[in-house]
Chains A and B, each alone.
Chain A
């Protein structure tokens, strides 16, 4: 399994999700990274005015591979009519970037 990080608005939080960052209240830590959210914690987050947090999401290797392959094909797609040397260079770097993650991860 691969752990992905996702930004979510507090409105979308559900009990059972895990925090991917420390949440501060003023200068003190209110909730530590890794905390599993409960209804009570979610209510408290809203109460103290937190608007969004990072949470962890588990992704299977298969899903991640598909995700990266899709990224590569989307890059190819959006660049198909763009043709200047600078854009070509940026495109090449992106394709290599996603391909490297693909070969590292699977």
Chain B
């Protein structure tokens, strides 16, 4: 497939330090010290990681100022995902600002939902939220002409991004997610959830993926405005998989309202 090859070629080169961390993480009995020592060799990378985990969606009560502290708090899978995030969202340019905002919203909401269902791996869920649309970011950055056609079609037909992507690219952003996840050897659960968040029936880890799917849906509805008048398809199995009922969704929305303030009264 032509697009796939071209896209994989255009992906940013993985910096040596990230490779080193990935390799170390493959080994058994690796200590947080070892991992953080490698990351700390790269000052820019350390700063990027600290900036992401200190952004509002992590909501740690105290500011995290050392990489070692971050590795201990977040765990290896999450650190691996965060390293990937720094590659995908290298610099937040005006072109990808909207995607970055949605990614941050979704990370926040995934954390909220995970917590409300008592899931242990909320940090990993947040990273999945951050990365669930990474295919769109890559298309926008490296294939601006195709991206423009997708946007145009979406506006003209008032359809979902999935439909427009399939018409223009032949595949949707979730397939692009899979290409990248396979090439970069993503942690299993994160890969599963970013590939299948629009078709949870095919996911191996349905609970984890269902949470990412619901987060995405909630963020899209929350940010509806005159310019953005569509939401992703809602798979009715979500309610069953998550055990979502009226009380639960109400509780989740109320936390979302507190964490993603659109406004507050003084």
Contact = CB atoms under 8 A, between A and B. Distances in A.
Given A51-B92, A78-B224, A97-B257, A3 B249 contact: no
For chain A, give the interface size range. 35 or more
B204 interface: no
Contacts of A89: 239, 244-246, 249
B217 interface: yes
Contacts of A85: 236, 239
Interface string A1-42: 111110101010000000001001011000000000000000
Given A11-B94, A51-B92, A74-B229, A90 B261 contact: no
Contacts of B257: 97, 101
A64 B231 CA distance: 23
B54 A84 contact: no
A74 to B, nearest CB: 4
A85 B235 CA distance: 10
19 contacts: A2-B263, A3-B266, A4-B261, A5-B264, A7-B101, A11-B94, A51-B91, A52-B92, A52-B97, A71-B224, A74-B225, A75-B221, A77-B229, A78-B229, A78-B231, A84-B234, A86-B237, A89-B245, A90-B234
A27 to B, nearest CB: 4
Interface of A: 1-5, 7, 9, 11, 21, 24, 26-27, 49, 51-52, 54, 59, 64, 70-71, 74-75, 77-79, 82, 84-87, 89-90, 92-94, 96-97, 101, 105
A9 B263 contact: no
B226 interface: yes
The listed residue with most B CB atoms (<10 A of its CB), out of A64, A78, A86, A96, is: A86
B171 interface: no
B54 A24 contact: yes
A14 to B, nearest CB: 16
B66 to A, nearest CB: 9
Contact of B234 (A4, A82, A101): A82
Nearest to B233: A82
B236 A84 contact: yes
B253 interface: yes
Interface residues of B, number: 41
Interface in B239-259: 239-240, 244-246, 249-250, 253-254, 257
Given A7-B101, A24-B63, A90-B249, A105 B265 contact: yes
A93 B253 contact: yes
A67 to B, nearest CB: 8
A9 B98 CA distance: 11
A88 to B, nearest CB: 9
Given A51-B91, A78-B221, A97 B236 contact: no
A93 B92 contact: no
Nearest to B231: A78
A49 B50 CA distance: 13
A74 B228 CA distance: 9
